[in-house]
């Protein structure tokens, strides 16, 4: 059994406040029951693509499992709307373009396993270079944002954090409407995580111009 160690740096307002060292093993799997396509607990990527071709439902495929995406609620959509406006204004005139779900993103892990997700928001900086004949983007977004909901909380916090890190996403924002909090992961040699709360300004690690007042993201 292969084991690795990984440092997670916890910072607040740019100051390191703690470092966690975690031991990860290949056999450690986080599972949560979601409504699946009917193929069972695992499905091949080809089966998923066949399902996607013949269904109007929205699905994600991660680590061999198919997840049916439920309809988002008001708090979720309010945050998404505020964020896409802020991203569009901030990145205007640059080569980086913000996108909003539903938009399929195909991600390949280092071991060759294929995955497909629909991030709530994403920033793509190489669209012209990675644009496919099927009118879909074929690269890896530079930045991804997910807004937590009851049905996606553990998937966004655990499964997708590992997926985005392994597939080359540089920065991952987790937006938590219940706690009115924004967590930003920066994936480099170590993982840096900064948490921002109401009254603070969330600042991107990789886009110097991207700053968002946390209070303005949430409704009420």
From first to last of its 220 residues, the chain has per-residue pLDDT tens of 444 454 555 454 455 554 544 443 333 332 333 344 444 458 899 999 998 888 889 999 999 999 999 899 999 999 999 999 999 999 999 999 999 999 999 999 999 999 999 999 999 999 988 887 888 899 999 999 999 998 889 999 999 999 999 999 999 999 999 999 999 999 987 889 999 999 999 999 999 999 999 999 998 7
CB 180 within 8 A of CB 218: yes
- Is 7 contained in some domain? yes
Residues 6+ apart with CB under 8 A from 35: 67, 68
Question: Which range of residues forms the domain containing residue 128?
Answer: 3-27+70-217
- Is 150 contained in some domain? yes
Query: What pLDDT score was predicted for residue 131?
Result: 83
> pTM for this one?
0.81
- Is 63 contained in some domain? no
- Is 59 contained in some domain? no
Cα 219 from chain centroid (whole Å): 21
Give the CATH number for residue 206. 3.90.1570.10
Quick one: CA torsion of 15, 174, 107, 123, rounded to 10 degrees? -80
Q: How far apart are CA 77 and CA 80, in angstroms?
A: 5
DSSP classification of residue 131: B
Residues 6+ apart with CB under 8 A from 205: 170, 171, 184, 186, 192, 194
When divided into structural domains, the chain yields a total of 1
- Is 102 contained in some domain? yes
- Is 145 contained in some domain? yes
DSSP classification of residue 92: T
- Is 198 contained in some domain? yes
Q: How far apart are CA 127 and CA 25, in angstroms?
A: 35
Quick one: CA torsion of 24, 27, 32, 35, rounded to 10 degrees? 140
Q: How far apart are CA 202 and CA 215, in angstroms?
A: 10
Query: What pLDDT score was predicted for residue 15?
Result: 56
């Amino acid at each position: 059994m292969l084991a690795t160690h990984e440092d997670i740096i916890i910072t607040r307002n740019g100051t390191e406040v703690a470092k966690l060292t975690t031991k990860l093993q290949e056999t450690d799997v986080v599972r949560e029951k979601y409504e699946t396509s009917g193929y069972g607990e695992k499905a091949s990527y080809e089966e998923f693509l066949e399902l996607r071709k013949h269904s109007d439902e929205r699905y994600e495929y991660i680590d061999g499992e198919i997840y049916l995406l439920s309809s988002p609620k008001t708090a979720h959509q309010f945050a998404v709307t505020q964020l896409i406006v802020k991203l569009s204004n901030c990145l205007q005139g640059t080569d980086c373009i913000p996108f909003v779900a539903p938009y399929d993103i195909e991600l390949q892990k280092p071991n060759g396993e294929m995955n497909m997700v629909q991030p709530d928001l994403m920033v793509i900086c190489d669209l012209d270079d990675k644009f496919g004949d099927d009118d879909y983007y074929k690269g890896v977004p530079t930045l991804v944002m997910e807004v937590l909901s009851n049905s996606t909380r553990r998937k966004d916090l655990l499964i997708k954090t590992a997926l985005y890190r392994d597939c080359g996403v540089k920065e991952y924002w987790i937006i938590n409407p219940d706690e009115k909090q924004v967590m930003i992961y920066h994936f480099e040699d170590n993982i840096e995580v900064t948490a921002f709360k109401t009254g603070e300004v969330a600042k991107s690690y990789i886009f110097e111009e991207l700053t968002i007042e946390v209070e303005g993201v949430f409704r009420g």
